[in-house]
A and B are shown apart, each in its own frame.
Chain A
Amino acid sequence: MSNERPALLVLADGTTFHGRAFGADTERAGEVVFNTAMTGYQEIATDPSYAGQIVCMTYPHIGNYGVNDEDDEARRPWIEGMVVRDLSESASNFRSTQELDGWFKDHGLVGIEGIDTRKLTRRIRIDGAVNGVLSSVDLDPASLRAKAEALPSMQGQDLVKRVTCNESYEWREGWPAPWMKRDGNGERAARRIVALDFGVKRNILRSLVAHGLEPTVVPADTPAEDILAQEPEGVFLSNGPGDPAAVTYAVDTIRGLLGKVPIFGICLGHQLLALAGGATTSKLKFGHRGANHPIRDHATGKIEITSQNHGFVVDEESLGGTAFQPTHTNLNDMTNAGIASEEHKAFGVQYHPEAAPGPHDAAHLFERFRGMIEGGSATVTP
């Protein structure tokens, strides 16, 4: 107890949580959201889609299995901070290389532990997403509240430019360890694709490779003509943070690609695809973040349990009159979870078939993408 440091999390509405700091001594601000996955804190911390957000983990014990070299979803953590009920001081796992606290310190990340995370979660559920400041350096609630109030809303924010790559690169890596390999796809002819990086997760790139798709990852502002000039067999639109409506340049790009090349979008990529197709998006009250969301595929009636991480959603009614049809529904709140256009050979899903963290039920969508590139349907996995 002797080396404990106090930390505060203060929300814009003045709600204050007194806890203990872990990681670096610093202050970070952002939208406070919660994730209900019971495993996968390392993947969540490094998922670029969480840029600008402080993530509250609803599962109380975090850090149990430490961190390892294989589970990073990007070259660095992107969350602004993490809120946990009980940080594990020890790490137990055969792959663990470091404890979470040390890893946070190494990356200059701050976390708060020892607070009633369920209270925070319920506050977000009842009142909606809220901005907040997490600090182990300024311990004055009034001062932190003022800073939280001054933060801009997530709505209208283009956070993609913060997380996208500066220059394009080739990705050829598959699963980091043989035991992680899934879905026997065997050796197949490689298909060259371009992946627009709005904050792409590594497991998406690995999943593409595992399906024989070889991505060239390009910055988010790459114009359509540059992409088409590479003559890709398909274009992948990645996940990413922030408000899709603010990423107007990407919408323009996608509009320029529609109908010219098969397109697959995940999460933000799916939202941008919808916007490019003429639909609209809006902000959810508190978003979907977890690994247990049921999705129904309209074509088969089958349900998949999926990993999700989004605060915005495609307005399903706005699809009317576009070339896109709704293809998937989130059974928890019946919001749109997928769209497709056979005409444009394009489809997108709001959730994460690459998992990491989360179930693999939807992993077949990468095969659907490949199938579409090879002339198949945008709504059926071969």
Chain B
Amino acid sequence: MPRRDDVHKILILGSGPIVIGQAAEFDYSGTQACKALREEGYEVVLVNSNPATIMTDPETADRTYVEPVTAEVATRVIEAERPDALLPTMGGQTGLNVAMELHEKGVLEKYGVTILGADPDVIKKAENRLDFREAMVKIGLDLPRSAVVNTFAEARDVRDDIGLPCVIRPSFTLGGTGGGIAWNVDEFDDICRRGLDLSPVSEILIEESIYGWKEFELEVMRDVADNVVIICGIENIDPMGVHTGDSITVAPIQTLTDREYQLMRDSAIKVIREIGVETGGSNIQFAVDPATGRQVVIEMNPRVSRSSALASKATGFAIAKIAAKLAVGYTLDELSNDITQKTKACFEPTIDYVVTKVPRFNFEKFPEAKAVLTTQMKSVGEGMAIGRTFRESLQKALRSLETGRFGFGCDAKEAQSELYEKEELRRRLQTPGPNRIFRIREALKSGWTVESLQSHTQIDPWFLTQMKLLVDREEDLRAHKTLTDVSDDLLRRAKQDGYSDHQIGTIFGLPEAEVRAQRRARDIEPAYKLVDTCAGEFEAATPYYYSTYDEEDELRPAAKDRIVILGGGPNRIGQGIEFDYCCVQASFALRDAGYETVMVNSNPETVSTDYDTSDVLFFEPLTAEHVLDIIERTDAKGVIVQYGGQTPLNLARQLEEGGAPIIGTSPESIDLADDRQRFKDLVDEYDLRQTENGTATSYDEAVAIARKVGYPVLVRPSYVLGGRAMEIVYDDETLKRYIEEAVDASPEKPILVDRFLEGAIEVDVDAVADGQKAIISGIMEHIEEAGVHSGDSTCTLPHYSLGDRAIAEIRESTMKLARALDVRGLMNVQYAVKDDVVYLIEVNPRASRTVPFVSKATGVQWARVAARVMAGEKLADLDVPESIDLPFFSVKEPVFPFNRFPGTDIVLGPEMRSTGEVMGIDRDLGLAFAKAKLGAFLSLPREGAIFISVKDADKRGIIHVARRLAALGYDIVSTAGTHRLLTRSGVPAEMIYKIADGRRPNVLDIVKNRKVNMIINTPSGRGARTDEGQIRGVAAMLAIPCITTMSGADALAHALESYRSDALGVKPLQDYHAELRADAALA
């Protein structure tokens, strides 16, 4: 069937900011969809608020609206663009929910917009628990016993029929937010209440517990001619009870016979047909009772998903791209398989390797929350690895995580880890947590049998046996005194089992480089094999490789000079999609400049690991060993370590020692910027200003410095990204506690102690330099005061309150730093401005988190410019504007995962905790603020109540804000102290009891009852158990906007003023950029 000609313009909804459960995978899918549809000649209109994506690059879609992904905004875009069709399945649950809302509000019908892929009835049938269940019963598929209820009383009624333990899942929430397993009646009550609250339709599913059953997923595709294929089967190592996003998962399925697999395949096909997904991909989850083989259907996602991105990377079959083409009418047999080019997309990939995905957690950033895995997803990213055996791929995946692990144990980190005593170990095996895999190793090492491990963990014995084989291999190695005593055969087999040089070095007490040298002297080298969708049956055209220790190498010779770009590894807080954006831009720029680009990365969610992005892709862990092998074997002329965030930077030294040709700013300069003493010397030499500071390696030293510079001080370990373990400390005692914890967080690294400037304005500056010249790409003013991590701050571009003198000094200092550090490429400088005095906070001569935001705000692809500079070109030859006057404001607003970590205090601090960001653009600063808030899914009520409670220091400042809010017609509610202040100042306010007053209703009651629409609370005390901590916690769980800084409150007032008076206008990035170009031409 040819493609549809009745459709010309297609609207795609993105997934918005990166949040837990909805991450970079939707940038990957969305970008593919845009490309696929434009390739077919369709005009693509995109709505996505996330500036850090490749998807929102002005070149990806025809009309790119960096606006909130909400029904309100999408309606405006539809009014403006009049698309013929909407593709709702590319933007995760967010995109799908907005599409449903547009349908329900009649917007689609009104403007004649057709839904492609799956119509609203289909989406509803797949997503609504009851409808889905009915459909499954109709086609004769087995399900767990269950009931759907809408009230708490109904939930109580069905409890005994279903029995405990049971699983509770709210309808229509992201990544299972609010769900859980109830083991007792109290938990049952709690989870049911929370689930009903969080479900937008107040509906929960209560279900027979199949906790401990084996969990599987199938990725299914269907075309308009009803051809159905299975792209990939995935088996979860962690059994049912752990969200699949938090499970270690493996492709293909390992422990089903063909008969059982085919039964599951038949069921999946029946499901997609019955639900009626007309075209595109779906993810269907199954559980299998290990004792009897009974298979039950769990759920279906009628859209591309995290799993489909994983399946695409695992098999080489580009699900989102093909889904987009199917949506416009092609059939599977009309599309070719990209990888073989000779065969069709209508087939089922078969693979000859094993893929393991391991989730990446950030529990250390939420110490108040329990580090326990449940049916609600908590991981912030994932690493994937490919090996010829499960053992190899598991070890590679574990060292992809960058948690200091180099595989399944035998590493420096293990040597430092405490061993658990028997009972504690048992408990940690029974309760899934982020490091359970290492507890399994600990148990195996201390003689536990596979049977006993299975009964504690419910993990399939096949996987446990494979883990035991790894421990056995270690014992084989340890049976030798020295590495030289180990036979070539044993060493090769250890490498085949995925043992890294680092691990082997740990076993024999040798440095990694020494193991590498010995191994290579014995001619034990990795071979690179192709991911080809067909297990070698056809020749692959696409250069997508992984390493293994087999005989035959399939790496093809270079056609041109190669440049290797090192990616950022798994997403985690502090290192997100922004760095992937930069790596992809570098690849595009260098390809344009005539190089063959080589990407190395281990994150399956990303655009960088799309085999279409670079000329050669290595899906490999970012460790010195793997990267050095690649650099050598690809005969790279250059290596870029500055674009992938801290990950590749941490390798720079080792790579350089290994002879890697690092291009751009020298690792020496990067080190210098991180080395306090040397940097201080440089600051003095160039006459720059820093706050007083010092470097301490012990508590005594730290206290001495703190007393010298004066409290409060900002303390942090060196060499970290994302403000890990950064804190503002007010006294000796807290400093002592901090040192104990921080040293633990970052061993062998000194602690930096800085005087902390209270109330200063923080400024982020991005620049690019070529050794001769530097250009400032953006000066961003933070809303939150210095002390809040820059990644967690809202910021505006251009700045809006800084004086000309401060700006001039900032410019000058930045230029000096570019020269001083001989920057060739990107750099980011952070300043604090207090009383018009500019203090240098830090400089990072590498890609920063703000690069994509600045690029979108200024219409220049800075990461591309810098990549070409790194390859040797000059700024003067690259047609880059020296300075850009911005006639509109861009606001970057962070998005936080607090609702996933109950019990966490949401107060902002120097430790970064946001997972993603959104961008709001408007001529009016207030509207730009408002759009950023809406983009972050914070509802901005046009009327209602605002609860205000501020610390004493903020009391004076709040009067003005409260007055403005009251003038807008909001009801101000506050507790006694603030209330007295406001009413005395003539601001009408209503009083409410504090929790401590012991009288009801108190403030917590009205927050819980959603009688409050917004909260302004600047904390006087931190901690989830304080009164205000409880209020903030509840607000986070109920998604009630909660502002915790005065500057934020001021910005909010500004946003509400504009938002209430003006209609929210929308405008695509392409128009903003055209405006900039026109202005530049006039100038």
Contacts and interface: CB of A to CB of B under 8 A. Distances in A.
Residue among A43, A92, A360 with the highest chain B CB neighbour number at 10 A: A92
A331 B333 contact: yes
B144 interface: no
A85 B354 CA distance: 12
B229 A65 contact: no
A39 to B, nearest CB: 4
B403 interface: no
Contacts of B347: 292-294, 305, 331-332
B662 interface: no
A323 interface: no
B257 A36 contact: no
A121 B551 contact: no
B730 interface: no
B352 A355 contact: no
A68 B227 CA distance: 33
B292 A90 contact: no
B710 interface: no
Contact of B529 (A68, A88, A118, A358): A118
Contact of B263 (A180, A294, A358): A180
B227 A64 contact: no
Nearest to B461: A92
Contact of B225 (A1, A302, A331): A302
B356 to A, nearest CB: 12
B267 to A, nearest CB: 11
Given A58-B352, A61-B390, A303-B333, A88 B462 contact: yes
B350 A360 contact: no
Nearest to B465: A90
A303 B346 contact: yes
Contacts of B254: 61, 64
B550 A71 contact: no
Contacts of A36: 350, 352, 534-537
Contacts of A42: 257
A109 B965 CA distance: 84
A271 interface: no
B255 A59 contact: no
B462 A305 contact: no
Interface string B531-561: 0001111110000000000111010000000
Nearest to B288: A94
A267 to B, nearest CB: 18
B552 A71 contact: no
A290 B263 contact: no
A350 interface: no
A86 interface: yes
A37 B350 contact: yes
A199 interface: no
B555 to A, nearest CB: 14
A68 B257 CA distance: 10
Nearest to A60: B388
B529 A301 contact: no
B183 to A, nearest CB: 26
Contacts of A43: 258
Contact of B290 (A94, A119, A179): A94
Interface string A57-77: 011110011001011000000
Contacts of B257: 39-40, 42, 65, 68, 71, 93, 95
B348 interface: yes
A298 interface: no
Interface residues of B, number: 59
B970 interface: no
A302 to B, nearest CB: 6
B252 A59 contact: yes
B262 A359 contact: yes
A305 B350 contact: no
A277 interface: no
Given A116-B552, A359-B262, A359-B265, A38 B351 contact: yes
Nearest to A286: B537
Interface string A360-382: 10000000000000000000000
A116 B462 CA distance: 22
A291 interface: yes
A90 B535 CA distance: 24
Contact of B461 (A90, A119, A293): A90
Contacts of B534: 36, 292
A38 B290 contact: no
B551 A116 contact: yes
A136 interface: no
Contact of A61 (B261, B293, B354): B354
Nearest to B261: A39
Given A40-B258, A332-B347, A360-B266, A117 B227 contact: no
Given A65-B257, A116-B550, A121 B225 contact: no
Nearest to B489: A1
B293 A95 contact: yes
Contacts of A68: 257
Interface in A20-61: 34, 36-40, 42-43, 58-61
B481 interface: no
Nearest to A67: B257
A39 B390 contact: no
Contact of B388 (A40, A71, A86, A121): A86
B291 interface: yes
B750 interface: no
B354 A60 contact: yes
Contact of A179 (B263, B352, B554): B263
A331 B346 contact: yes
B388 A85 contact: yes
A309 to B, nearest CB: 13
A119 B351 CA distance: 14
Interface in A282-314: 290-294, 296, 301-303, 305
Contacts of A118: 352, 388, 529, 535-536, 550, 552
Nearest to B229: A305
Contacts of A302: 225-227
Interface string B234-275: 000000000000000000111111111111011000000000
A5 interface: no
Interface in B587-633: none
Contacts of A1: 476, 490
B222 to A, nearest CB: 11
B784 interface: no
A71 B292 CA distance: 17
A260 interface: no
Contacts of B490: 1
Nearest to B349: A292
Interface in A109-141: 115-119, 121-122, 125
24 contacts: A36-B350, A58-B535, A58-B536, A59-B351, A59-B352, A60-B389, A61-B354, A70-B259, A85-B352, A93-B257, A116-B527, A116-B551, A118-B552, A119-B550, A179-B263, A290-B350, A290-B537, A292-B348, A302-B225, A303-B333, A305-B348, A357-B258, A360-B262, A360-B266
Q: Which 6 pairs of residues, A with B, have the shortest CB-CB distance?
A: A357-B258, A40-B258, A119-B552, A92-B462, A58-B535, A39-B258
Interface of B: 225-227, 229-230, 252-263, 265-266, 290-293, 332-333, 343-344, 346-354, 388-390, 450, 460-462, 465, 469, 476, 490, 527, 529, 534-539, 550-552, 554
Given A332-B537, A356-B258, 8 more contacts: A61-B354, A61-B390, A93-B257, A121-B352, A125-B538, A303-B332, A332-B538, A355-B258
Interface of A: 1, 34, 36-40, 42-43, 58-61, 64-65, 68, 70-71, 85-86, 88-95, 115-119, 121-122, 125, 179-180, 182, 290-294, 296, 301-303, 305, 331-332, 355-360
